[in-house]
């Protein structure tokens, strides 16, 4: 929300009251409370009349985190719903030195000089990281609408970059942008986002979560070019200031607050194949595709039935279309016998012609208008209503139909939509604010579906393919990037969205290989296949045409086979990275700055990423195969070609369709499994440890997980001089392959 006209003037429709000076301080063992006057009152007792004040509470919800709550009117109704925040609420460490107050949380502190003008300095290691100062914290009234807003703004230092805020496909660095946290079905080609998250982090070693499910507005170095301003509707603003200083530590703390990703089952990391959206298909078509993949030696793990597994105009009633699937139980059994898992498309919208509409309307399971009638629309499905997931009876009803499908043999659900949630003139069963339910609806939707799968299938077997999300939605993996086009430009914007989402703690992310809209030329399909299979989850999906590789060209078959088999062999490495995402909140697809925060060049890179902590991936975005990418310091080795690349520096290379820059980090050990035909197998059998440029005197430890995410074996490699020693807890023999040998001999214990 923009309140100003330039730096000095206020827009004519607004009255703004800025925190100006500290009038009063209170401290106890839980919080430091400041009463901020909105004009200068020292020495003028009459100035306290007819003046708004802001009450500012600072508390310590966990080490390295400060909670800041700013309130104008306490009597306003509480904001509902709110994000689920895991607050430990540590005792407040508050000190006073004359006029200066401090509240500490680990290495982080907030400093307030009560005799200076209004300013809160956020400090670490004796240095100010950022501050809320002059004309920063405020209450605003729109005189035309009578709507009120709370706002704060934090200073941006020279060279400070802002990242995150959800899966936005706009420029990766958010400086200069206005971002409204509002889930929308806008495609990857627009400024809208399916997954809007009110959290950002910067290269100064901190992050900020605005704890409000409403349409938080961020003005990032634009309205005030030296600040990030954030504002929310209402009378209270609450945000969490999260210190690292390493960006991984920021994410660990952020995900400790908002929740960490569940660990998806290992089978979900294999290749998913879809019917596509508007294509014609039946069981014969499905078998033709599955058998065709097997005949071409392309491992396939999951088959996805998109919308038309149900009858048209009936979405979503969870009823198989009898014209095309007369024996769904038998079909699902036959697919399982082929070793194929099944995912089906759903959404939270109930069409008027569907089998469930009358029951849902009669029992009050739908979102209602304020007059008590059912909210309906013809956009998407004729006369559709939307399930009210604040109604527990409606949740049980919806879940019962999911359970029926799971008991039939369905393994997973693509939880599509969840963004087109109305806000005007409606009411929820639990009295939630419709404005704040718009984004939060995605959390309730995905939580219900995820928990239902877990209930029926058991712990560790639940996985979604979800499109909408907000803060905390990372708890219910996996997510994909929505409707992209079949071009290199759209492939690159998809990656930008994935990088931005990774900054918000989403551990598992995918995208439609080859693009959703239109049909890609074969060269785009092949380049995208390599990118897609070097993502946490990999799906072939489209709109109006099938995405099996032989419909593009013969080389597409070879490319898809090569990278699917490579991903299966990489599973000991990839699943260990998945466990790290689950346990620590560090995503599998990582922006370069997460691994190399001190390298100034990587802070701006948006066409490459780290897959786990040890593999650099630079997708190719050109038909001719030319790619420019950057490597940080050290001697990097291409896992596919054996080429050595010396960093730091930029590289320009040309690649055929069967290779791309896939570089092992210096000093890393990459475990490759012995099975290239499926993602879920005993990772210790046939295991090979690939060692890259381990320096003299260095020791590294590799943990290989089992299919439940537990450590199956630990391998410790130590180099002393020309001798490399291996200690192993594995019951199976392991092969060690040395790259960049430099005269090293191998000694095994």
Min mean pLDDT across 177-181, 569-573, 736-740 is at: 736-740
**Does 188 share its domain with 282?**
no
pLDDT of residue 271: 98
Given a cut of 80, whether residue 580 has pLDDT beyond it is yes
- Please indicate, yes or no, whether residues 460 and 342 belong to a single structural domain of this protein: yes
**Alpha-carbon span 574 to 577, nearest angstrom:** 5
Enumerate residues 6+ apart whose C-beta is below 8 A from 534.
563, 567, 611, 615, 617, 619, 662
CA distances 638 to 276, 398, 574, 646, 676, Å, are 34, 49, 17, 11, 19
- Which pLDDT value is given to residue 215? 97
Judge whether 379 lies within some domain.
yes
The predicted structure's pLDDT at residue 42 = 82
Extract long-range pairs of 422-426: CB within 8 Å, 24+ residues apart: 422/367, 422/375, 422/377, 422/386, 425/369, 425/370, 426/367, 426/368, 426/369, 426/370, 426/375
Same domain? For 637 and 712 the reply is no
CA distance 458 to 401: 17
Judge contact between 569 and 675, C-beta under 8 A: yes
Whether residue 257 lies inside any domain: the answer is no
For the domain that residue 694 is a member of, what is the CATH number?
A: 2.60.40.1180
The answer to whether 67 and 58 have CB atoms below 8 angstroms apart is: yes
Domain carrying residue 167: 4-243
Q: How many Å apart are CA 323 and CA 565, to the nearest integer?
A: 36
In tens, the pLDDT along 525-562 reads 999 999 999 999 999 999 999 999 999 999 999 999 99
Q: How many other C-beta atoms are found inside a 10 Å radius of the C-beta of residue 472? A: 25
Q: Where is 442: in which H helix or E strand?
A: helix 434-457
Tokens at 199, concatenated: 């959290």
* 3-class secondary-structure state, position 341: strand
More confident residue, 51 or 745: 51
Six token digits for residue 103: 């509240």
Tens-digit pLDDT profile for residues 701-730: 999 999 999 999 999 999 999 899 999 999
The angle at the Cα of 224, spanning 219 to 228, to the nearest 5 degrees, equals 45
Distance between CA atoms of residues 402 and 389, nearest Å: 14
- 366 and 315 in a single domain? The answer is yes
Lowest-pLDDT choice from 6-10, 418-422, 604-608, 666-670: 6-10
Asked whether residue 564 falls in the same domain as residue 601, the answer is: no
pLDDT tens-digit series, residues 115-164: 999 999 999 988 999 999 999 999 999 999 999 999 999 999 999 999 99
How many structural domains compose the chain? Answer: 4
| Mean pLDDT, rounded, for 343-372 | 98
> What distance in Å separates the CA atoms of residue 467 and residue 347, rounded to the nearest whole number?
10
| Residues 475, 496 within the same domain | yes
The closest of 586, 593, 630 to 612, measured between CA atoms, is 586
**pLDDT band, very low/low/confident/very high, at 748 (cuts 50, 70, 90):** low
**Is position 675 within any domain?**
no
Condensed to tens digits (0 to 9), the pLDDT of residues 64-103 reads: 999 999 999 999 988 899 999 998 878 999 999 999 999 9
- Rounded Cα distance, 338 and 498, in Å: 33
Residues 335, 203, single domain; the answer is no
Domain assignment present for residue 629? The answer is yes
Burial class for 27, CB neighbours closer than 10 Å (0-12, 13-18, 19+): middle
Confirm if 303 and 286 have CB atoms less than 8 A apart.
yes
Supply φ then ψ for residue 553, to 5 degrees: -170, 175
Distance of CA 528 to the CA centre of its chain: 20
The per-residue pLDDT for range 284-294, each reduced to its tens digit, is: 999 999 999 99
CATH of the domain at 447: 3.20.20.80
Q: What is the pLDDT of residue 749?
A: 57
Query: Is the domain of 81 the same as that of 110?
Result: yes
Residues 604, 568 share a domain: no
For 125-129, 185-189, 504-508, 604-608, which range has the lowest pLDDT when averaged over its residues?
Answer: 125-129
The pLDDT value given to residue 126: 87
* Beta-carbon contacts of residue 54 (< 8 Å; ≥ 6 apart): 17, 19, 35, 36, 38, 70, 71, 72, 137, 138, 139
Residues 204 and 270 in one domain: no
Whether residues 300 and 212 share a domain: the answer is no
Strands 236-243 and 162-166: unpaired
User: Of 536, 556, 584, which residue is a domain's last?
Assistant: 584
Residue 667: how many CB atoms within 10 A of its CB?
16
pLDDT tens sequence across 421-437: 999 999 999 999 999 99
User: How far is C-alpha 627 from the geometric centre of its chain's CA atoms?
Assistant: 26
Domain annotation covers residue 284:
yes
Determine the pLDDT at residue 534.
98
608-627 mean pLDDT: 98
The reported pLDDT for the residue numbered 46 is 84
Residue 4 to residue 8: CA distance in whole angstroms: 7
The answer to whether residue 591 sits within a structural domain is: no
**Domain identity same for 311 and 214:** no
Query: What DSSP assignment string belongs to 191-206?
Result: S-BSBEEEEEEETTSE
Q: Does any domain span residue 673?
A: no
Strands 21-27 and 31-37: antiparallel
Interval 297-309 mean pLDDT? 98
Q: What is the DSSP letter of 487?
A: S
Whether residue 261 lies inside any domain: the answer is no
Is-contact 287 555, C-beta < 8 A?
no
Give me the CATH number covering residue 96: 2.60.40.1760
Q: Report the catalytic residues.
A: 416, 419, 483
How far is the C-alpha of 582 from the C-alpha of 261, rounded, in Å? 5
Does 230 have pLDDT greater than 60? yes
Taking Cα atoms as reference points, which of 287, 273, 401, 407 lies closest to residue 337? 287
Distance of CA 116 to the CA centre of its chain: 40
Instruction: Evaluate whether 449 touches 463 at the Cβ level (below 8 Å).
Output: no
Model confidence at 47, pLDDT cuts 50, 70, 90, reads: confident
Dihedral of CA 559/560/561/566: which sign? positive
pLDDT at 393 over 90: yes
């Amino acid at each position: 929300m923009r309140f100003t006209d330039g730096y000095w003037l206020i827009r004519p429709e607004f009255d703004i009251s800025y925190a100006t000076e500290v009038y009063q301080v209170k401290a106890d063992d839980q919080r430091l409370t400041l009463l901020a006057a909105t004009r200068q009152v020292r020495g003028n007792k009459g100035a306290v009349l007819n003046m708004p004040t802001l009450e500012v509470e600072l508390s310590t919800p966990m080490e390295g985190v400060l909670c800041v709550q700013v309130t104008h009117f306490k009597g306003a109704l509480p904001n509902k719903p709110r994000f689920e925040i895991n607050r430990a609420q540590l005792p407040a460490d508050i000190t006073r030195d004359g006029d200066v107050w401090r509240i500490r949380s680990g290495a982080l502190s907030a400093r307030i000089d009560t005799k200076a003008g209004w300013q809160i300095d956020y400090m670490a290691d004796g240095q100010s990281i950022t501050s809320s100062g002059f004309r920063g914290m405020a209450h605003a009234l729109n005189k035309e609408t009578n709507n009120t807003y709370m706002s704060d703004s934090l200073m941006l230092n020279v060279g400070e970059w802002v990242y995150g805020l959800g899966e936005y496909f706009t420029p990766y660095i958010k400086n200069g942008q206005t971002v409204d946290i509002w889930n929308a079905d806008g495609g990857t080609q627009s400024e809208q986002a399916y997954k809007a998250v009110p959290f950002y982090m910067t290269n100064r070693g901190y992050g900020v979560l605005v704890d409000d499910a409403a349409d938080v507005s961020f003005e990032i170095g634009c309205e005030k070019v030296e600040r990030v301003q954030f504002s929310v509707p209402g009378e209270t603003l609450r945000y969490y200031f999260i210190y690292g200083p390493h960006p991984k530590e920021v994410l660990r703390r952020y995900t400790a607050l908002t929740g960490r990703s569940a660990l998806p089952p290992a089978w979900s990391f294999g290749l998913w194949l879809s019917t596509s959206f508007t294509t014609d298909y039946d069981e014969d078509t499905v078998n033709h595709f599955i058998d065709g993949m097997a005949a071409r030696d392309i491992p396939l793990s999951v088959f996805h039935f998109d919308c038309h597994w149900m009858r048209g105009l009936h979405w979503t009633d969870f009823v198989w279309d009898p014209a095309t699937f007369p024996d769904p139980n038998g079909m699902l059994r036959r697919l399982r016998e082929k070793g194929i898992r099944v995912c089906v498309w759903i959404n939270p919208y109930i069409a008027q012609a569907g089998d469930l509409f009358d029951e849902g309307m009669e029992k009050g399971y739908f979102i209602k208008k304020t007059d008590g009638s059912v909210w309906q629309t013809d956009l998407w499905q004729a006369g559709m209503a939307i399930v009210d997931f604040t109604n527990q009876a409606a949740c049980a009803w919806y879940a019962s139909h999911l359970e029926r499908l799971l008991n039939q043999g369905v393994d997973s659900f693509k939880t599509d939509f969840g963004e087109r949630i109305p806000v005007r003139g409606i009411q929820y069963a639990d009295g939630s604010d419709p404005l704040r339910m718009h984004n939060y609806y995605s959390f309730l939707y995905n939580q219900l579906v995820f928990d239902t799968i877990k209930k029926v299938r058991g712990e560790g077997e639940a996985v979604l393919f979800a499109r909408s999300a907000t803060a905390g939605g990372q708890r219910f993996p996996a997510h994909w990037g929505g409707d992209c086009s079949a071009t290199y430009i759209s492939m690159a914007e998809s990656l930008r969205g994935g990088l931005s989402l990774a900054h918000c703690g989403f551990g598992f992310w995918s995208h439609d290989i080859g693009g959703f809209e239109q049909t890609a030329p074969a060269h785009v399909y092949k380049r995208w296949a390599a990118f897609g299979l070097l993502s946490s989850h990999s799906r072939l999906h489209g709109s109006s045409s099938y995405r099996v590789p032989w419909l593009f060209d013969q080389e597409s078959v070879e490319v898809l086979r090569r990278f699917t088999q490579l991903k299966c062999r990489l599973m000991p490495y990839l699943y260990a990275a998945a466990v790290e995402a689950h346990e620590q909140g560090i995503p599998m697809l990582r922006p370069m700055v997460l691994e190399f925060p001190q390298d100034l060049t990587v802070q701006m890179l948006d066409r490459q990423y780290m897959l786990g902590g040890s593999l650099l991936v630079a997708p190719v975005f050109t038909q001719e195969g030319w790619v420019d990418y950057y490597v940080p310091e050290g001697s990097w080795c291409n896992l596919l070609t054996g080429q050595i690349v010396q960093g730091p520096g930029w590289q320009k290379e040309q690649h055929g369709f069967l290779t791309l820059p896939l570089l092992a980090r210096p000093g890393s050990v990459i475990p490759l499994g012995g099975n290239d035909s499926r993602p879920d197998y005993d990772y210790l059998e046939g295991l090979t440890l690939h060692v890259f440029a381990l320096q003299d005197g260095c020791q590294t430890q590799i943990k290989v997980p089992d299919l439940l995410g537990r450590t199956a074996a630990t391998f410790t490699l130590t180099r002393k001089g020309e001798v490399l020693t291996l200690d192993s807890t594995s019951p199976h023999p392991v092969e060690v392959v040395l790259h960049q040998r430099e005269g090293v001999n191998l000694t095994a214990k």
